[in-house]
Structures are given as C-alpha cells and as structure tokens.
Amino acid sequence: MAKLPTNWFVEHVTPDLIQQFSIKDILYSGKTRFQTAEVIDTASYGRCLILDGKIQCSERDEFIYHEALVHPPLITHPNPETVFIAGGGEGATAREVLAHKTVSKAVMVDIDRQVIKLCRRYLPSLSQGSFEDERLELHFGDARNYLAHTQERFDAIIIDLPEPIEEGPAYLLYTEEFYAMLRERLRPQGVISVQSGCAVMGVLLNFIAVNNTLKTVFPRVFPYRAEVPSFGGTWGFALAGEGLDPLALSPAEVERRIAGRISRPLSFYDAETHRGLFSLPKYLRQEMAQENRTIADDRPLFIY
Amino acid sequence: MAKLPTNWFVEHVTPDLIQQFSIKDILYSGKTRFQTAEVIDTASYGRCLILDGKIQCSERDEFIYHEALVHPPLITHPNPETVFIAGGGEGATAREVLAHKTVSKAVMVDIDRQVIKLCRRYLPSLSQGSFEDERLELHFGDARNYLAHTQERFDAIIIDLPEPIEEGPAYLLYTEEFYAMLRERLRPQGVISVQSGCAVMGVLLNFIAVNNTLKTVFPRVFPYRAEVPSFGGTWGFALAGEGLDPLALSPAEVERRIAGRISRPLSFYDAETHRGLFSLPKYLRQEMAQENRTIADDRPLFIY
Amino acid sequence: MAKLPTNWFVEHVTPDLIQQFSIKDILYSGKTRFQTAEVIDTASYGRCLILDGKIQCSERDEFIYHEALVHPPLITHPNPETVFIAGGGEGATAREVLAHKTVSKAVMVDIDRQVIKLCRRYLPSLSQGSFEDERLELHFGDARNYLAHTQERFDAIIIDLPEPIEEGPAYLLYTEEFYAMLRERLRPQGVISVQSGCAVMGVLLNFIAVNNTLKTVFPRVFPYRAEVPSFGGTWGFALAGEGLDPLALSPAEVERRIAGRISRPLSFYDAETHRGLFSLPKYLRQEMAQENRTIADDRPLFIY
Amino acid sequence: MAKLPTNWFVEHVTPDLIQQFSIKDILYSGKTRFQTAEVIDTASYGRCLILDGKIQCSERDEFIYHEALVHPPLITHPNPETVFIAGGGEGATAREVLAHKTVSKAVMVDIDRQVIKLCRRYLPSLSQGSFEDERLELHFGDARNYLAHTQERFDAIIIDLPEPIEEGPAYLLYTEEFYAMLRERLRPQGVISVQSGCAVMGVLLNFIAVNNTLKTVFPRVFPYRAEVPSFGGTWGFALAGEGLDPLALSPAEVERRIAGRISRPLSFYDAETHRGLFSLPKYLRQEMAQENRTIADDRPLFIY
C-alpha cells in the first residue's frame, strides 16, 4: 500500500463526478486579481495550470486542445492574415496561430496578466517564444470591452476562455450579444472558433448552448470535439463563420494547406483528424437537435 | 458543504489516475467464483456493474460500448448468420447481436454464471430478453477452451471480455494463440471485433498491443475508438477479418444495411458514427506505428 | 489494487481535513423535513447515521459517546429521578438514562420524527427498547420551545443535539439564552451535560465556546473529553450544575453508585474512565484559558 | 466549489479508513536507501514528514507525541543520566531528552541518514539544535545491531521507530528478543518507553501486542495513550522497567521533577497530563485483558 501515490489533485468535474491525478510537486499556489491559480506537476500529465480549481491545460496533452482550437478555422479560411485571440493567457493558442505563415498580425487580449507571467515561468513550452514574436500584439483587459472599442476586423477570431462560472471573469463572453460583436469584427470570409466546454455525454449543456447561441448569430455553425484526457474526456468546440464549410475541403486540400502554411510539424491535426473532429455520434446529434437553450447577457449559463 | 454527495465509488484507472462517481445505492457487493462483483447505483451513470474493482458497464452509456462493439463488424459483413460471443455476461452484446435479423444463431460462452444472474436481476435493461431468445445458445465455461473443442465456424466473433489483469480470468484470451484459434473458427468473409481496453493518450499499451497481435494473425485489422464516459474516456476496439474493409462501405450502404437488417432504432451507431469510429487522431496513429509490443501465451500483458 | 475497497463515505471534518470510511451498504438515503439523512453500513464502524453529511453515531463506537454523555452527570448527581433529553433521536441517550434505576421519568424532545423512525428501523441496537419504556415521555418539536412553555423541573438535563450548522435546526440551542433557560429548569443540585463537538487540537472553538458560554450561566462547569473514533477523534462534552463536582467523588464511590444504580454492565464508563474523562492535556487547558468566545442568540457560532 | 482545496495528502490508516489533509506545498518527495520519504506542507498540521506513505510527525502536533514518548519515563526515573534512543531521526526525541538537565549523554542510532538530513533542512523546529548538542552521540545503523555489540548500559531507552511494515526496516525491533536485549542494556532502576502505534478502538492489535510482548520480558509494564491528531487519533505507548511505577508519583512530585529538571516550558506534559495518559477507558482495558498476542522474531507483526 505504501507504494500508492500519497498526494493528489482533486477536481470536481460535476457535483457527482471527480477526477484525481497524483501530484509530484506544487510549483505555485496563490491568487491573482481575478482567480485562484495553481501550477502542479502530475505523474499522468506533467505540469498543469489550474484556475479556480479547474484544470486549464497540461503539458502532456495541451497540444490536442490548442491544435483543435486553432487549426480547423485557420485551415478552413483561404488565407488568414489577421487573427484575434480572446483569452489564451498560456500563450499556446498564440503559438499555434503564429505557426501559420499567412498570419501577419495576431491581437491577443487576456484579462489576467499574472496568469501569463505564471505560464511563462512555469510552463514555457506552452508559449514557446510566442510572446517575443513581433506579429503578436498583447493587451491586458476584458476582451469584450476591447472589441467594443475597436474598429479593426479580423480573418479569424479564436475564443479561448475559461468556462463560465458564477464567480469567474468569463461568463459574459459566452452570450449572443458577444457573438454578435464578434461577427461585426470579422472580415468577409471570416471564421471563428470557440472552446465550448465539456462535451461528454451527460455534461453537454454548455457545449450545446454555445452552439445554439452561435446559430442565432452566424449563418453556418459546425460543432466539433476532441478528446483531451486531462480535461476528463472529450472537449467541445464550435467553428462558425460567414459561409466557409470545413467539411467541403477534400483531405488532399487539407494536407496541402497544412504543408504550405504551417511552419512546423503538428502532433494532433491532419486531414484524417480534421474529418474525425466533426464526426459526432448519433446520440449527440439527436441531443443537440432537441435542446434549444441559448445564452444571453440576461440569461447567462453557469457551469458547475 | 453538507450538500456535496457523501458516498463515492473510487476507481483507480491507473496508479496515478482516479475517477470517482457519487453513489446513490449499493445493490449488490460480493464475490463470485471468479471475481469480486458489485452493482452500484450512481448519480451520473445509473446502475453500474463493477468486477474486480473495474467498471464493466453503466446503464446510462452502455449503449455506446455495446453498439460500437457489435455493429461495425456485423454491418461490415455481407450477411452475418452465426455469431460467437466470448464473454458478454451482461447480455447486452447478445442483445445487439440478436437485433440483427440476419442472425439465426448466436453462441455465447461466459465463465461466470453468477455475473449473468446478477445482471439479469439488477440490470435487466442490459439483456432485454436476450437470454430468452431461442437463437441464443448459452454456455458456461472458458471461451478459449470451448473454441478449442468445437469444429463450428462463425460469420462473426465478438470478444467482450474483462481486461487482462493478473488475478483475473481473461488474460489468456488476449494472445496470438487465441486469435489464431479465432481465425480458424471463422467462415469465409468472417469478421471479428475485440474490445481492447482504454484508448486514452497515455494509457494506450493494451489497445495498441491487441491491434499488433491481431495483425500477426489476420490480413486486415482496423483499430477504432468510441468515448464511453463511465470508462473514464475513449475506449478501444479492433475489427479484423479475412479481407472485409469497413471503410469501403459508403455511408449510404451503411444506412441501407442498418435499415434492412436491424430490428430496432439504434442510439449510437449510424453511418456518420461509423466513419468517426475509425478516424484516429494523428498522434495515436504515430504511436501505433512506433509501438510493436505483441501478446502471446508466454508473454501476456497485464493492465493495472 | 482490485482488493482495495471501492465504495467510500467521505466526510469533510474541516475544509482541510477529510475522513473516509469504506462502505458495505447504503441502507437509506433521503431527506427529512429538517435535514438530509443517511444510514450506511461501513467496514470499520458498522451502521452509521449521517445527518447533513456529518456522522452522528456508529453502531460500533456509539457506546463511548452515549455513556460519556449520560453517566458522568447522572452518577455525579446524588439521586437523579427526572431527566430531560434535548435531541437524542437515535434513542441511545434515552437507553443510557433509563438504565439508571433511580430515574422514574425521562422527557425527550426531538425535532425530527423521521430520524427516530429511521433509527428504530435501521439501528435498533441504539434504542434497545427505550421507546417502549413507560418512563419515557417523547415529544416532537423544538426543545427550546418546549422548555420555554413548561414549568417542570429536572434533576438532570442532557443536551444531545447535532452540531450548530448554518442551515441546520440546532444552532439556537447552543446559546447563553438557552443555557439560562436550562438552569431555570433544574431542580436544586441539578446537573446538565452538553455534547459540545469536536475537541481535537486545531478544531477546538466550538468545544471551548460552549464551555465559556456555560460559565456565564452556571457556577461550576467541567469540560471533559472522550475519543469517539468514528467522529474523527476526541469529542468534547461539558458538565455543569449548581455546585456538584464530579471530581470530588472517590473512585470507590463512583463504582458504588454504578453498581447500585445501573441495571446492566457498561462498556466504557467506570471509575477509572470517569477520572480520565476530566483529565485534559496542558495545551488544551492553556488554550481554554486564552480563548474567551461565548455564544448568544445574536452571536451564534456555526461550525463547518 | 472552486473554493474547496484541490490538493490532498491521502493516507490509508487501515484498508477501510482514509484520512486526507489538504496540501499547500510539497517540499520534498523521493526515496532514501530504506524508504520513500516526503515532506509536505499541510493546512491543518503545517509541515509533515511522510515515510512509506505514513505520516511520522507534523510541525503542529509533534510536541504531543514527543513529550508523551520521552517525559513519562524520564520523570518516573529518579535521576536519568544516560539515555539510548532507537530511531528518532527527526531529532525531536533527542530534543526532549536533552531538555532534561540530568542527562549527560544520549546515544541515538537511526538507520536512515537521509531522513535526518531531510528533517534538518525542512523541519528544523523538530531538532532545534539537538544535533549540535555535545551530549548527543549519533550513529547511523540498525539499532538492534548496535545494541547487540555494545556493553554500555543506560538509565532510559526510548524506542521511536516507524511502524512494523513488511517492506520496512523496523519490524524486528518490536519482538521479545529485541526487548530482552533492551532489558540487558538497562542500569538498575532503568526504564524504557516504546511508541507502540495506533491505539484507536478497532485498530488496537499492535498496541496491545507490544504491551503483551513487553510483559514477557519486564516485571512492570504500563500502557498509555495520547491523542496525536495528525496520526488519525489516539496513539499508544508503553512504559516498562525494573519496578518503577509512574502512577506512584504524586502530582506534586511530578511538578517538582519537571520544574527541577527540565530546562524549558513544556506544552503537553505536566502532572495532570501525566495522570490522564495512563487512564485507559474500560473497553480498552477489557480488550487488553482478552488479547494475548505477542511478537517474536519468528512471529513478527505487520501493520497495514
């Protein structure tokens, strides 16, 4: 028995579901202006960033999440030059965006300067120099407020925010008012992707509601999923835009764009993965057809 | 705090990873001749069968596992009439097999009579009358031993066994010797499917080794995956046979076969799901290409 | 690993301290009008009653708690004939009181009729027929309200209430106003005992505050402690009265009173135990001398 | 929910009983030549030393354990000048021994040099300069082997070893052969104390067996207990010797010896505490009278 690990990180995925990772070290534990923050080193997933008790990413499998969030919209777009990133404090979303040679400018707005400092210090593999890339323009503040006061338009917008919890800083960035603002900030043929929370059977409400809400604003919305083990299962995303269809690209075209535009080898994303991302099982498509919850500023959705 | 659930089922997925479900009731807790067995009622997944501390299925999501195990091989086969099931004591694999109108005979061999009794009593939705179906021939015993002493051949063989643990009854049913025996028991165009364990990043060895081992015996092997939330993530399967290719079927043909052959509506499996099952992410295909572990009687694989 | 128990009761003793017992069965889980209630069967302590997530007693060690609560005051009293019990729904406090042959009448007031029913059904060893004893007068309601409307006086009053939690029914029965009411309901030489919560180093506030509050009302107060393992450690009590001193009794006199008055063998309490109960370690006496928190209706104390 | 601690130390007290402390930091985690070793910082108990998964001491309550282990034998002895310490790597047992002005020489033998280094670095309040005290003679090695090869005799011997686990280094230091060796190494009027493990109801075997075994060797044996909260409850000790009786000392004499001999204020031990230590509850005395297990080299006792 002495051989079992003694130290554990405990995450309440839902009130009735817990996941625990054994911990090798606690590198940081404190509070920023906006949230509690921890960096822990785990046996299963390496170093992990925890905000308000929820895992945000792990060294070991963050590539799945960040490649899934960034490449489907950017590859679907014919020539993405300017990209807006809401959140993304770890720097890994910027890393994937800046891997696209077509991108000449990325504007990133994150509210929590201390999280960025923590990640640069304890999780440098996440940003891998993105913060030094001259194409990145970094602002600290509320992304919704930033977008309300700019006239700039973007080829792609990537929404990489923590989940909407009642005490947290992000819940007003999941509403139809916010998505309408995003649409106005897109160039023609513009595309967005949104991390939209847990997409595991039984924990689907946020994922479905984000997709429903996007549909009230955008003509085309494509829900998709990728398994991110440290998040406790399959994670949901949505791709939306003015009309581009990620499934209309042939596998050969996806491979051609990857080869032509992305400056380094990817680990998760290729044409086969692209196809699989958008393939939802029957029960999930049925559940999405039945649930019509949407999110608005005066009807916010809070997850556990 | 008093509002948090107080009673929890704790499963060590790996030595460094735990999942916990809150429990509403413990319906049964005891030992059979072969293993410890429990039936618990959980808030997230309804009633669950636990053998040797490992969850075997839950009322809420067992349809994913059992449809994924049975329909890809039977739909790929042009006309499955006889099916062999190794294990499957819950009766749900038989339920899915017998839903195929083409099937005139299913032979099921499970070692643990008490598990079948437990499931019929506490989890009747699993078998849904399969054990009363005249097409089912049920034997109690070791499936390998049974196959060694029969000359019968089958259109499909479904391997639905608990994972290979050192103290458990199943580890000799994961070896190349056993798979060679399966091949001999197949009719021409015969097909098999094998539940092959956790297929989550970082916990892939069993999944890959089963696929590798099948490749030493069968000309075509197709690994596939489905997310079964109560199992802690994505689960691995393998389809193997004499030459049939599940990916050669057009979506329309899959739908046509489902409509023509299966007597009731499915919840998980359709043409879109079929396509998604076989779509593995890039990192997994790479890892499968690099790992060459196979399993033999004298080189068994034990999972945690 | 499969041999580790899989099902656990989890109690947050404090926000930073958890105790877990392996569960064999869940006999009842529901809500009464006043609180959540569970009866679970544990490997370490047998059947346990859980109210609002907190263990109230276990079959295996309840004798320690109930003998410690009842016998010190009744043995200290020269001839206890009438006893009032506040709370005590399990029936075990009544059982110990009624074991005293001197007692001709015990009045018990508990707010939660359903808890009494649950205990009679699932934990009959607790009451052992007390509810059928003609000397017991049982009322359902709030004990404070009952005492406010009676003129009856008692030789002993036993306070056996759940801990004061913000959502719970008991916190106004821990205040100086309530204790003043108790004093008025005592006969000359009357004595009371109060269960006063966890008395483990670091979790002492409730124990000390109850004792301090009693001192504002009664001329003599005697804190004492007994280890109740299922409660996570040493439990606190207080004995108070008009002047009787439990430490003034010689061991021989304690034994004589036990032999003469109590109708069956005890398991926990005798003269040696009596002496040990009142022997507090130095650090605890020092901490009690320094902490002066008292409890009043408008300054209630809530425990975690 | 985000406000609950996320990081926990989990200790299996028995197979059916777990205690968890929330962790603020992991200061060290590794292996020595003899055992796994960790130093963690907990919210409830401050820094804790963990060996082979079992808590050995915490900053917050180690004073209880170490004062209880050392002062009863040394105060009972009329004039302790030479003391032998088996184990005690934290340096806190030496600290308490060296607080006695009568002690001119203390010989300490601990097997694990790395544990001593760890404690000096991460838990300096434990030794508080003991290792620099010229009266301390420190040896690294097996205490039994050391005693087998010395002719020296001591006024007191303090046994401060980890519990006897099958894989651990200590189980042969709990046997009657070892205790017989101790007796030979005592001067006339010599006295020993032995930490003898958990003494909580239901987990009493080690405590009772150590006492029984001592009785096969020594004319007088006195079991005693103190609550050490971080150990999960009440801890057992035994005092044995050639005839000295700790209970024969009047409270005034205990206070007089403390005042005259001990060079600094104590936190746990005084005359009142001394009396309480030896006061065992009735059920425990009964259980000790019934259980006759003893420990020998060829009949070792392993705890969980």
Shortest Cα–Cα distance, B18 to chain A (Å): 5
Are C191 and C102 contacting, i.e. CB atoms less than 8 angstroms apart?
no
pLDDT tens-digit profile of A26-47? 999 999 999 999 999 999 999 9
Number of continuous H segments (helices) and E segments (strands) in chain D? 10, 12
Quick check: D4 contacting A, CB < 8 Å?
A: yes
pLDDT tens-digit profile of B77-115? 999 999 999 999 999 999 999 999 999 999 999 999 999
Quick check: A53 contacting B, CB < 8 Å?
A: no
How large is the ipTM?
0.94
Contact assignment for C50 to B26 by CB distance below 8 Å: no
Q: What is the pLDDT of residue D304?
A: 74
Q: Which of D160, D245, D297, D298 is the catalytic position?
A: D160
Q: What is the DSSP letter of C16?
A: T
Helix axes D176-184, D205-215, angle to 10 degrees: 50
| DSSP H/E element including C43 | none
Q: Which chains touch B (3 or more CB pairs under 8 A)?
A: A, C
The ranges assigned to domains in chain C are: 8-58, 62-290
Backbone dihedral angles phi then psi of residue A267, each to the nearest 5 degrees? -105, -30
Q: Is A160 a catalytic residue?
A: yes
Residues 6+ positions from C131 with CB-CB distance below 8 Å: C91, C94, C116, C120, C138
Among B7, B29, B53, whose Cβ lies nearest the Cβ of C1?
Answer: B53
- For C8-58, CATH number? 2.30.140.10
Ranking A140-154, A157-171, A182-196, D268-282 by mean pLDDT, the lowest is A157-171
Shortest Cα–Cα distance, C36 to chain D (Å): 19
Q: Cα(D103)–Cα(D263) distance, rounded to whole angstroms?
A: 11
Cα dist from B90 to B87, B154, C80, D131, D274, whole Å: 9, 21, 63, 64, 62
Q: Which of A160, A245, A297, A298 is the catalytic position?
A: A160
Q: What is the pLDDT of residue B173?
A: 93
Quick check: C148 contacting D, CB < 8 Å?
A: no
Average pLDDT taken over every residue of chain C? 95
Q: What is the pLDDT of residue B1?
A: 39
Residues 6+ positions from C23 with CB-CB distance below 8 Å: B7, B23, B26, C5, C7, C8, C9, C40, C41, C42, C43
Return the HEC string of A246-267. Answer: HHHCCHHHHHHHHHHHECCCCC
Among B9, B24, B165, whose Cβ lies nearest the Cβ of C6?
Answer: B9
pLDDT tens-digit profile of C1-28? 347 899 999 999 999 999 999 999 999 9
Average pLDDT taken over every residue of chain B? 95
Q: Which of B52, B160, B270, B298 is the catalytic position?
A: B160
Q: Which residue of D has its CA nearest to A167?
A: D2
Q: Any idea which residue has 């820094």 for tokens?
A: D47
- CATH class, range A9-58: mainly beta
User: Catalytic residues of C, which ones?
Assistant: 160
Average pLDDT taken over every residue of chain A? 95
Q: Which residue of A has its CA nearest to B271?
A: A282
**pLDDT tens series, chain D, 304 aa:** 347 899 999 999 999 999 999 999 999 999 999 999 999 999 999 999 999 899 999 999 999 999 999 999 999 999 999 999 999 999 999 999 999 999 999 999 999 999 999 999 999 999 999 999 999 999 999 999 999 999 999 999 999 998 887 776 788 999 999 999 999 999 999 999 999 999 999 999 999 999 999 999 999 999 999 999 999 999 999 999 988 999 999 999 999 999 999 999 999 999 999 999 999 999 999 999 999 999 999 999 988 7
Amino acid at B96: E
Quick check: B291 contacting C, CB < 8 Å?
A: no
Shortest Cα–Cα distance, A202 to chain B (Å): 7
Q: What is the pLDDT of residue C163?
A: 84
DSSP string, A172-208: GGSSHHHHHHHHHTEEEEEEEEEEEEE-STT--HHHH
Cα dist from B15 to A4, A59, C253, whole Å: 7, 19, 58
Shortest Cα–Cα distance, C230 to chain B (Å): 15
What CATH number does domain D62-290 carry, 2.90.10.10, 3.40.50.150, 3.30.230.70, 3.40.1280.10? 3.40.50.150
Q: Closest by alpha carbon to C202, among C25, C49, C14?
A: C14
Q: What is the pLDDT of residue C1?
A: 39
Q: What is the pLDDT of residue B163?
A: 84
Quick check: D40 contacting A, CB < 8 Å?
A: yes
Q: Closest by alpha carbon to D102, among D84, D79, D83, D69?
A: D79
Q: Which residues of D touch C5 (CB under 8 A)?
A: 15-16
Q: Which of B1, B3, B6 to mutate to test the interface with C (most CBs of C within 10 A)?
A: B6
The more confidently predicted of residues D171 and C110 is C110
Average pLDDT over residues B41-53: 96
Average pLDDT over residues C52-65: 95
**Is A2's pLDDT higher than 60?**
no
Contact assignment for A7 to D54 by CB distance below 8 Å: no
Task: Give CA D168 to chain center in angstroms.
Answer: 16
Q: Which residues of A touch B232 (CB under 8 A)?
A: 233
Q: Cα(C71)–Cα(C266) distance, rounded to whole angstroms?
A: 10
pTM (2 d.p.): 0.93
Average pLDDT over residues C271-288: 97
Phi-psi region of C125 (alpha: psi -120 to 50; beta: other; left: phi over 0): alpha
